[in-house]
Amino acid sequence: MEKSTPFPATLVVAPFTLEEAITAGVARPQLWRRPEIESVSRGLYRHADWDFELTAAARSLSASSPGAWVSHVTAARIHGLCLPPWLSDSNELHLSKPRHLQPVRRKGVIGHTVLVSEDEIENVHGICISTRARTWLDLARRLPLSDLVCLGDELIRIPRPEFEGRTDSFTTIAALRTMVDRHKNFQGVVRAREALEIMRVGADSAPETLLRLAMLDAGIPEPELQVRLRPDDPFSPSADLGFRGRRVAIQYDGGHHLEEAQALSDRRRDKAFEAAGWVVLKFGKEDLADNFAKATRRIKKVLRTAWTDPAVRAGFVRGGM
């Protein structure tokens, strides 16, 4: 009886190609005789003990698909981009190819044949993948406008180096506009152009963007983003959104604001604004759940009240605090 040899541990933790199996010391006949090895797709295998993990699956798919790249929802998830709740846990595998190659025909893989420029694809930890900017364009066909704006705002926001370890935004509105102009016949290009018109630098989260969009839909003037109490002081407390002329500061407090240290910081921030004569409005996940309907009504009421206050009105006309 032929003695079964242990299967290489490196091939248990992720799908693998035939070439990777041979390199790890598994002969082709031995691979096919093992009942615990399953064929995932052409030239791609997995061990029965492997629990699906998107990045590992995408890396193997990329390795077994020369000339193709991981894209769309799969790329967005690997890049860690914000997606709407109905896509945030998606395990869809999307693979794109240029038009001169045969279309993608793999079991369990959603294929796309597209036109790309060289700078729209990159290699991230061994995965050939669409850039964040190109991923945004690819998703323009699928995402509703508001979610596409949220994703775009995330790409153009100025990062906080102390928390994110980077100083530059992922891209700019100008760069996105250049890319969109390059793909005039792309399905979804109209929605991409609409999104570009209402994207703004300054939103630190998708809910902040959705609140701003809800305000615009409600007929409220466009707010300033990241409003510093003292404009020339980089250490000044700031509001997520606001109207300096009417002394109205608007905050969206997500789940992390419930932590004790953050809650203390928030109270100090709010007291600083209030001491300077500002009205502070705070919203949270309950407001997000009703698409900020109650929130926009409250903001409208406060803005009307602020406009009837002679002191605030005078400050608005002068452009002061």
Answer whether 179's CB lies under 8 Å from 189's CB. no
The band of 315, judged by pLDDT with boundaries at 50, 70 and 90, is very low
Alpha-carbon span 232 to 164, nearest angstrom: 24
**In the block, residue with structure tokens 């003695």:** 3
Q: What is the pLDDT of residues 240-273, one digit of tens each?
A: 999 999 999 999 987 555 556 677 888 999 999 9
173 and 215 both lie in a single domain: no
Please name the residue ranges forming H helices in 170-259.
173-182, 189-198, 206-217
Q: Which of 165, 183, 201 is the last residue of a domain?
A: 201
Calculate the average pLDDT of the chain. Answer: 87
What pTM does this model have? 0.82
Residue with tokens 């890049």: 79
Please indicate, yes or no, whether residues 35 and 74 belong to a single structural domain of this protein.
no
If asked whether residues 227 and 134 sit together in one domain, one would say no
Phi, psi (deg, nearest 5) at residue 165: 70, 20
**pLDDT of 21-79, one tens digit each?**
777 777 766 666 677 777 766 667 777 766 778 898 898 888 888 899 999 999 999 99
**Do residues 259 and 282 both lie within one domain?**
yes
**Cα(292)–Cα(310) distance, rounded to whole angstroms?**
29
Beta-bridged to residue 13, according to DSSP, are none
User: Does residue 237 belong to any structural domain of this protein?
Assistant: yes
Residue 321: band (very low, low, confident or very high) from pLDDT cuts 50, 70, 90: very low
Checking if the pLDDT of 160 tops 50, the result is yes
- Measure CA 286 to chain center: 22
Domain count, the chain: 3
- Per-residue pLDDT at 316: 41
Which domain-ending residue is among 170, 201, 232? 201
Of the pLDDT bands very low, low, confident and very high (cuts 50, 70, 90), residue 308 is low
Domain extent, residue 35, equals 7-51
What is the token pair recorded at 317?
């006309």
> Which is it for the CA torsion 172, 176, 177, 179, positive or negative?
positive
| Same-domain check for residues 78 and 194 | yes
3-state secondary structure of 308: helix
Q: What is the DSSP letter of 50?
A: P
pLDDT at position 313 is 44
| Whether residue 291 is found in the same domain as residue 234 | yes
Q: What is the DSSP letter of 259?
A: S
- Give residue for tokens 């860690």: 80
pLDDT of residue 22: 78
Q: What is the mean pLDDT of the segment spanning 133-162?
A: 96
User: The domain spanning residue 228 has which CATH number?
Assistant: 3.40.960.10
Whether 319 shows a pLDDT value over 50: the answer reads no
74 and 167 within one domain: yes
Higher per-residue confidence, 209 vs 5: 209
Are residues 16 and 80 both part of a single domain?
Answer: no
Tokens matching residue 131: 């850039």
**Alpha-carbon distances, residue 157 vs 24, 93, 119, 233, 269 (angstroms):** 44, 28, 21, 20, 22
Residue 318 pLDDT > 60? no
Give 110-120 pLDDT, tens digit per residue. 999 999 999 99
